[in-house]
């Protein structure tokens, strides 16, 4: 039986998505590389024989999602790995961003991923196999000022994906959340959503964060090629974890935040436990 997998990768024109496509192809697998503009995908699939296919996909459009998936199924007959990588950054204090910008960020980072997953799941259920990779971020676990909306899109993806993992585990479908720290990609480019009007009161908080993000572009700790190889390795490992926290900066952020959260919860624990009825015990599912 062939161990060659068919990957369906969104956001494959740049960054982690592009490196993941390259790594999967290098491992001998088949890749359906998807992006809004396919001209940046052609060099990925050229000279790959029957192992590569470039497809135009706007993850926020229902027709585009359905057509892209059908094209992949028509060509290869199945999807073994769905990698939801497409995403969009958004900066700004909560009060500065208008609701249309918030919704735009959620459409790409959250709804696009879950809608594609919902389209692929019937095929994976029928096969009783498959792997879903949802690319989140370390700020899907640790909220940061100025990135509140971006964090919220990733927190939502984290919760939905963790619940999904429990729902499909017995159906032969594996699920992995990828939580990178800072990686040298094009993520800090012109596609980031920013407020049209800035509020001076927030400048002392959000200003230094945005300056640091901008000045750090191209100098981040993370190597996207290595990250991609680890993601491919996780898919090929039957014991793949639910979470892949990528990068020393991500691990440091999580360690600090989890310790801070634990201490914060513990301070009022006794008082909070007193809210239970004394004569009732409940089992948490």
**92 — phi, psi (to 5°)?**
135, 145
Pairing status of strand 81-84 against strand 6-9: parallel
Pairing status of strand 81-84 against strand 130-135: parallel
Residue 154: active-site member? yes
CA triplet 237, 139, 199: central angle to 5 degrees? 160
Could you give the CA distance from residue 93 to residue 111 in angstroms, rounded to a whole number?
22
Return the DSSP state at 222: B
Catalytic residue among 150, 202, 248, 266: 150
Residue 202: active-site member? no
Nearest to 112 by CA among 162, 69, 73, 49: 69
CA triplet 177, 183, 184: central angle to 5 degrees? 145
Determine the straight-line distance between the first and last CA of the chain, rounded to whole angstroms. 39
CB of 99 closer than 8 Å to CB of 196: no
Catalytic residue among 13, 136, 137, 229: 136
Residues 6+ apart with CB under 8 A from 62: 115
Catalytic residue among 13, 22, 137, 154: 154
3-class SS of residue 105: helix
CB of 33 closer than 8 Å to CB of 54: yes
Active site residues: 136, 150, 154
């Amino acid at each position: 039986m062939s161990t060659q997998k068919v990957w369906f990768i969104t956001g494959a024109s740049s960054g982690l998505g592009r490196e993941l496509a390259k790594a999967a192809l290098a491992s001998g697998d088949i890749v359906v590389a998807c992006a809004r503009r396919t001209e940046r995908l052609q060099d990925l699939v050229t000279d790959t024989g029957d192992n590569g296919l470039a497809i135009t996909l706007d993850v926020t459009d229902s027709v585009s999602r359905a057509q892209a998936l059908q094209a992949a199924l028509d060509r290869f007959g199945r999807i073994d790995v769905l990698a939801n990588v497409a995403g969009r950054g958004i900066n700004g204090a909560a009060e500065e961003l208008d609701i249309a910008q918030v919704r735009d960020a959620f459409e790409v980072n959250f709804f696009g991923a879950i809608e594609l997953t919902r389209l692929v799941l019937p095929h994976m259920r029928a096969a009783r196999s498959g792997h879903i990779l949802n690319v989140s971020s370390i700020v899907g676990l640790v909220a940061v000022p100025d990135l509140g909306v971006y964090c919220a899109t990733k927190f939502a993806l984290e919760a939905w994906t963790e619940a999904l993992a429990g729902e499909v585990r017995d159906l032969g479908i594996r699920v992995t959340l990828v939580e990178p720290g800072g990686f040298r990609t094009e993520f800090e480019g012109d596609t980031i959503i920013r407020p049209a009007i800035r509020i001076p009161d927030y400048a002392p908080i959000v200003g230094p964060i945005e300056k640091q993000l901008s000045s750090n572009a191209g100098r981040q700790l993370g190597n996207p090629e290595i990250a991609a190889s680890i993601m491919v390795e996780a898919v090929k490992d039957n014991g793949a974890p639910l979470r892949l926290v990528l990068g020393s900066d991500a691990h440091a952020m999580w360690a600090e935040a989890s310790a801070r959260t634990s201490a914060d919860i513990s301070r009022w624990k006794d008082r909070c436990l007193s809210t239970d009825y004394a004569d009732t015990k409940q089992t948490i599912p």
